[in-house]
Every structure is written in structure tokens, then in C-alpha cells.
Chain A
């Protein structure tokens, strides 16, 4: 690459970085500024609004996020043990579930839970048939329990993957030493294994907490009066033009809380990195004895029924036709749902918008993430501040971004959507690129530096080619996040704009579940491809 071209590409990366940083920073700043705007007649008093709306929403947000994180840990920990320490058929499928929270959009999960756990869902139909009941016995979906179940099951693979990666590298000698000193298996687990896994466990639980803290679509669909999160409260307040200062206050409170959680998460990630010495993979034993086979099989069956089941229901539902009303009439196999989806006037424009906005977002987020990662490499330090900075956009939710940008650019535009989605996906793209760069032995760029009069030469001729899989993986993640995002398009309310996620949300909202399921399958297929891309990258690297 010629020096002139390198300079141009570097400048483009720098511009992308500035754009993405502004896209993340400006909305909360705009919200903060609005708090100091004069209170118009008829506006709400902020103090009263804080007590009556924000505090209950904050309480509910934290409560559901804590319970969801606990559920994710309870479901994820046995899975982590099985995946890390035991060999059994289906182990790779169990591990591949970790792609679900990142690549299956929340709107798809919400639909799958409605189809499976809803009043007219499969679970109730089966239970009513088996026990000859007149009324559906499972009625918790539209409540705190429903929100927690959806969040916990949606996110447990985060805990499973993170903890199992540490567990499979935990040196055997520590546990063996404890056993030789007379400790029983439970005492070994409590005193040796758990302390060693505390870092990844807390780190992943905090990440789940953060995802649930910001949950929007699932709460919008399952939440009840008095049971909404700050995200939903902000969405509703932002739609009321007389209460924009109240909305701004929610945005500020939410962002400040989230910054604290992101910093806590960054701290635990740092802690996790200190346990990197655990590099040797331990051999796995097959499940043996009734004490292992029984609970192990039971766990896997429960997971298959209650987690994979709802996801499969979407596929089944997309291929099912019902006559005589939702779920209650006779059902049969048909492709009419797909046919109906493909003949929707808005389908092809939504498909095109999904790809166009997804590609633009992926390009912008990846360029910005790469520019930052290369700057870090050039700077050569691994300070906590520099490693935390790229994670800070995680503290600005989609709804806060959408609200802030609506204030800044009231008429909205697709360009705003792209930069806002790039801000959301930037931390994920950066994490992928950073991981790739971290795998390059430090002597390689140093050798290049001694042979190159310009630092950019090292970046473009050595670091970028060596990190190319991470870069592609980061772009894939950014694309998947954009394609599956219904929140930002919904809040920005762009005229005549609809992507597949928003189309799916609207189809579900109008109870057109067959077309919605077909749309969800299509969307999950599009976004799911990136998981296999990034997973195969990790397999190759390891």
C-alpha cells in the first residue's frame, strides 16, 4: 500500500472514530442540557416525576436485571461444568448456544416466548391436553416472572461460555492437592474451584445484568403497568412532547447508573485477564455413573425443551397454518406464511434496508474500532483507562441514543440511524479486533517497527493482515446488531423506513404470528451466519 493511500485510509478511520464517539456522547449530553431548559407551562415538575415514575422504574429495572442475572447464572453454571469438564454428544451444540444472545435479536426471542409460554402457546396447549384443563395453567409471561424468564434464558449462554472457557483451563493440580489433603468434592468446589472462577462468573453475570438493565423490546412486550424498565419509561415519556424534560431526566439517570455498571464490568474483566496463565486445556471425561448421567441428561433435556423449544417453535409456526383463530383452530403444514411475507408490500424494502443499513453500520463501526485498536497498538500501553474507554458506549442505551438524536435531528434520517447503530455496535466490534490483536506475539510488530520508517507501515502491512479475521468478525457482529435492532428504528420513527426487525415487531404486534415467525426465521438466519463466522475464527485461532 502506498504511503499516500495509507494516510487517506488512516484519515478515514480517524473520521469514523470521531463520528462514532460523537454519536455516543452527544445524545446523553443533549438530554443533560435539556434538564436545564426552562420549564414550559404545563410541563411536569421534575422532582415529582422522579419520585412517581423514575424511582419505581429504576427499582423494577434493577430488580428484574438482578433476578435475570441470577437465573442466567443458575442455568449457565451447570452447563459451563458440563461443557468444560465432560464429554457427551451435543457438547458443541451446547457451546454454540452462546451465539444466541448476540445473534438472535431480542424481538425474535420475545416472539418465540409468546409462541411457547403464552396463554395460547404450545406449553399451555400440551398441559391442557394432558391434564384435561379448561384454562391455561401457565400465565406468568406478562409479568415480572415472564420478563425474568425471557432474560435469564436468553442470556444464560453468556455465563455458560465465559465460565466454561475458564473452567476448562483451570489447572488440575490445585484441586488434586485439595483432594489429597482430605477435602470432599463439594469442599474442593467451594474452596478451590469457585474462587478461581469468581472473576469470569462475576464478569459474565454483570454483562447479563447490563443487557437486562437495557432491555427494551422484551419488556415492552411482556411488561405490565408498574412493571416497566427505565428504557420503556423513557420511550413512553419521549412520545409525550409535554414531558421531554422528564424523558431527559430518565436518560441522564439511566446513563449515569449504566456508566457505574460498565466500569464495574471493566474492572472484573481486568481481574479475569489476570487469570490468563490458565492456558492448558484440561482433558474432559465422559459423563459416568448415575449421579452424573441422571442430572446431566435432565439438565440437557430441560434446556432443549424450555430454551431450544421456543426457538424451534418459530420455525414450526412459520410453516403452520391455523384455521379458526390463533392456536385454537385446526393446524396444518403450509408455506402460506412465507408466501404472505414475501408478498407484503413492505417486505423487499425492509430486506434491502436491513442489508444497506447493516453494511453501512458494520463499515463505520469496524473502521472506528480498528482505528482505535491500532492507535492503542501504536501507543503501546495497556492502561485500564484505554481498555475501558471503548466499553463506555455500552452505557448509552439504544433508547437514550434514539431520544437524544431525535432532539438533535428532529426530522431524523437514515444517516443518523447508521451512526447511532455504529455507536451501539462499536464495543462489540472493538472486542473482536482487540482479541485478534492480542493474539499476535508482541515481537512481530516490534520486528516490523525496526524495519519500517513509518508506524502506519506496521499497521497496514502487519497488524491489519494478521487481525483480518477479527476485523471481519467485528464487522459481522456490527452487521448482526444492526440487522436485529428494532429499538432505534422504532424510537427514531424515520418516515417510510422499516427494516426486518421493525417489520417483525409490527407483525407480532398485530398478531400476525405466522408471517412474524417467517420473518423471525429469516432474520435469525441472516444474523446467525455471523456467529458461525466468528466462532470458526476462534476455533482456527485456538
Chain B
């Protein structure tokens, strides 16, 4: 679905990062609710592309537009971009519930309201009973679910996934990639995944962009 005026919902235009011996340059666009997979071998710069979109790394050139806003120079917290990291990156000093509520409190919501909302998301992710637990007591799959809930609860305009399945064993990996796909389709969030695994790419994305 194109936004008014025919501009894609999300697009990166000649996004460039240079290293001494290597560079990565990409251009692509996404419509709202679409899922794209960036596929490529290790070290080619896939994660760097995600980190530039998130604002965690400064690009050497190119522009990033999201929902009719040029976000290239915005700080990470103001881009409305969420990210699920390879190892979930849950805050180890906070409970599962407070992890999920973190972004809501940062946005100015009261602690009580944010906890109520976090509990609602715990239910959506079948994580009832985990509210008071610390991240180190969770399994790999549970951690990734909490990380996804923490990302989605603040209603980001775009969700980035940096190798979200690579730290999991084969059985869990297969289960979780199907779960990720069905959640993305149900909830309709726009997503960019990074993976080096073709099987992950097949299931997770509407489209695949191979970086070479």
C-alpha cells in the first residue's frame, strides 16, 4: 500500500558505509506491513545496514525515509524504529515486566499504566507468570519473545531484527521463525530482518534482498 503521493512507506536511498577495504551501499523500499529480509554471508555489512537505519551508526552517505519523514539525522530514540537484537539485549537489572514497560516509561507514561500495558503484552505473547522474573532465568526463545514484546509495545513504525534466531538451537529456531512470521502478519508491523540463513529468509520475509 503506497502512502499518499506514491512515496513508499519506508525507503533507503543509496545508504552507504565505507571501511578501509570494503563498502556497503543499499537502496530499497517497503510498503506498510511488509517484511523484507536482507540475506548475505557473514561480514558483508547486513547488520551495519540495520544499525544505520536504527541510528546506532552514522552512514557515510544516503538518506533514510520513514512514514514521510527523513529520519537520517534523527537520534535513535526519536526515529520510531524498534530493534530486536541477536541476544535479545534484555536489561538484566529489570524484571520481564519492567523490561517491556521500559519504553513506555521513557515516553512519559506513568509506572502504573505502563505495567498494566506490559501485562497485556505478556498475555499476548503467552508469557503470563513471567512478569516478575529476571532475564537470566529465561530460555533463549522466551528472551526473544520478551524482546519482541518490549519492541512492539511502543508501537514503532518499523521493526528491525538482527539475526534474531541465530543464538537458538535448531528445533526452537524453526518454531520461533514461524511464530515471528505469523505475529508479523497478524499485527501488520513493517519489518526488516537480517540473516545469513536462507531457510530463515524463506519463511520470514515477503521479499528477500541478497547482499553480495
Contact = CB atoms under 8 A, between A and B. Distances in A.
A33 to B, nearest CB: 42
B92 A450 contact: no
Interface stretch (B33-41, B82-90, B118-126): B82-90
Given A450-B83, A454-B77, A441 B102 contact: no
B106 A444 contact: no
A446 B83 CA distance: 9
B102 A449 contact: no
Given A441-B87, A443-B85, A461-B102, A449 B77 contact: yes
Interface size class, chain A: 10 to 19
B189 interface: no
A441 B77 CA distance: 19
A283 interface: no
B87 A452 contact: no
Contacts of A47: none
With most chain B CB atoms within 10 A of its CB, the pick from A447, A453, A462 is A447
B78 interface: yes
B140 to A, nearest CB: 15
B134 to A, nearest CB: 13
A442 to B, nearest CB: 9
B93 A465 contact: yes
B130 interface: no
A451 interface: yes
B91 A444 contact: yes
Interface in A257-300: none
Interface in B133-176: 147, 150, 154
Contacts of A461: 102, 105-106
A457 interface: yes
Contacts of B85: 443, 446-447
B77 A452 contact: yes
A466 B147 CA distance: 18
Interface string B59-88: 000000000000000011111011101110
A448 interface: yes
Contacts of B188: none
A138 B113 CA distance: 76
Contacts of B154: 451
A461 B104 CA distance: 13
Contacts of B91: 444, 447-448, 462, 466
A481 B127 CA distance: 49
A452 B106 contact: yes
B56 A448 contact: no
Top 7 A-B residue pairs of the complex, sorted by shortest distance between their CB atoms: A451-B103, A443-B89, A447-B89, A452-B106, A453-B77, A443-B85, A452-B77
22 contacts: A441-B89, A443-B87, A444-B89, A446-B76, A446-B83, A447-B89, A447-B147, A448-B102, A449-B56, A449-B75, A450-B82, A451-B77, A451-B103, A451-B106, A451-B150, A452-B106, A453-B75, A453-B106, A455-B77, A461-B102, A461-B105, A462-B93
